[in-house]
Amino acid sequence: MDSKNILGIDIGTSNIKIFVGKIGLDGHVTIAGSGQMTTNGFAKGVISNCNLLVKSIEQAVDCAVMATDLSVKDAYIGIGGMELNAVNSIGSIAPSAPSSITIDDVNRVYRAAALVAIPDDHEVLHVLPQKIFVDKQRKNGLPLQEKGSHLEVEAHVVSIPKMTLNDLVREIETLGIHVVSVIANAVAVTEAIIPVPAKNFLVIDIGAGSTELILYQEGHIDFTTALPLGGNYITSDIMRGLAISWEHAEEIKKYYAKLNKQLQGQEIILDCNAYGTTDKHVSYDFLYKIVESRICELVYLMHEHSKIFLAENKIEKIFLTGGCGAMSGFVQSIEATFGIPVQVVIHQELPLEYRSPENAACYGILKYAGKNLPKPQVILESNPWRSLMSKCRNFLKN
């Protein structure tokens, strides 16, 4: 078998997105199909009802599997939002043998960084190394087989409450899906972007109910945070301003995002009617004011939250992902407020129908899976002499 089928499941506050990926032995990802379903039980990055959420996941998985006609049981789950805890931490240990640092020593120093950083009721999702030192000297890469009496790591540690994680995994596995790994969406969207020419960049992932800010520096994630704000605030303003339903307002928001902003000031009237309405002929200028004023407010809050680390770090570019990444107003407002060039993330290597910033996290989940899938074991042909020697070695070890 030269590839493995994997489900990449992006748990968003508005939609559950599923990619069915074929992952080759070299880690290359090919999208075989997709599924999507409205999210229930997950608001502003907090799970409010695990049963409803897993029901939404089940429906999205059914759509994806039927579309591809493939049997897929293994899944990587991406989740973000306010329940995740992300901090920078330092771990230090004495290597088991000063004459040679081993991979076990590296794993121990990572665990030391995690133990310092996370509460007792949390489970570690990622220990992302930033800098590693041997006897106070910084090293490039893992210092395996080097001599040293002191090993230290600076790392970004991401964790999630154990109860949240255990409940989610348990309920998903009742669907007959094996959860290989749960990863933070901040890691997924960054995985979808790198490699890029910029060494230092900021990722802004704007979803419906939450926004992730990820600072990437010199080859590693340096800082992540989540804010309980997103595109739903725009939908809510349209709903109230036009006295329509939420679903109707969401469709108008998507329609507005496709319009040319040069329509402003030309007294253009838009037909915004849907089933059941006949009087929703709206001035473009009125809709522009509703949407753009809220975008400016959201971007202002993002900037206020990130001012400290922006002042301490030179950011070359901002990458914009998430469902709101398709709204040009965000690009213009972020560039004006942050004073940094913005690039909307669209993956040209994906099939045309998937080239949207809202798919960055789901694609990143599969790219992460491609890098971290367990390597298949090589089965050697039967050889009595080799079998005997193996048994002898095992006996001597005991």
Instruction: Tell me how far apart the alpha carbons of residues 48 and 81 are, in angstroms, rounded to a whole number.
Output: 12
Q: 347 φ, ψ to 5°? A: -90, 110
**H-helix or E-strand spanning residue 133:** strand 122-134
Beta strands 317-321 and 201-206, pairing class: parallel
Q: In this predicted structure, what is the pLDDT of residue 374?
A: 67
* DSSP annotation of 117: H
* Two structure tokens written together for 74: 């293994």
Under 8 Å between Cβ of 31 and 350: yes
Pairing of strands 3-11, 74-79: parallel
For the whole model, what pTM was predicted? 0.88
Residue 189: which of 177, 178, 176, 204 has the closest Cα?
Answer: 204
Residue 325: closest CA among 225, 224, 257: 257
| Per-residue pLDDT tens digits of the chain, which is 398 residues long | 467 899 999 999 899 999 999 998 888 899 999 999 999 999 878 899 999 999 999 999 999 988 888 888 999 999 998 899 999 999 999 999 999 999 999 999 999 999 988 999 999 999 999 999 999 999 988 999 999 999 999 999 999 999 999 999 999 999 999 999 999 999 999 988 888 777 899 999 999 999 999 999 988 999 999 999 999 999 999 999 999 999 999 999 999 999 998 999 999 999 999 888 889 999 999 999 999 999 999 999 999 999 888 888 889 999 999 989 889 999 999 999 999 999 999 888 888 999 999 999 999 999 999 988 765 544 434 444 344 444 444 433 44
Residue 41 CB partners (closer than 8 Å, separation 6+): 47, 48, 49, 50, 51, 52, 53, 54, 55, 56
In this prediction, residue 155 carries a pLDDT of: 95
Residue with the two structure tokens 């965000």: 330
Could you give the CA distance from residue 192 to residue 164 in angstroms, rounded to a whole number?
26
Q: What is the DSSP string of 241-309?
A: HHT--HHHHHHHHHHHHTS-GGGTTTT-EEE---TT-S--EEEHHHHHHHHHHHHHHHHHHHHHHHHHH
Structural domains present in the chain: 85-161 (3.30.1490.110)
Largest CA distance in the chain: 88
Q: What is the pLDDT of residue 387?
A: 44
From 340, 313, 311, 78, select the one nearest 212 (Cα to Cα): 78
Cα–Cα distances (Å) from 65 to 16, 168, 315, 383, in that order, read 14, 21, 41, 42
Q: Return the structure tokens found at 269.
A: 């009237």
Q: Which two tokens stand for residue 200?
A: 């230092």
CA distance 195 to 313: 20
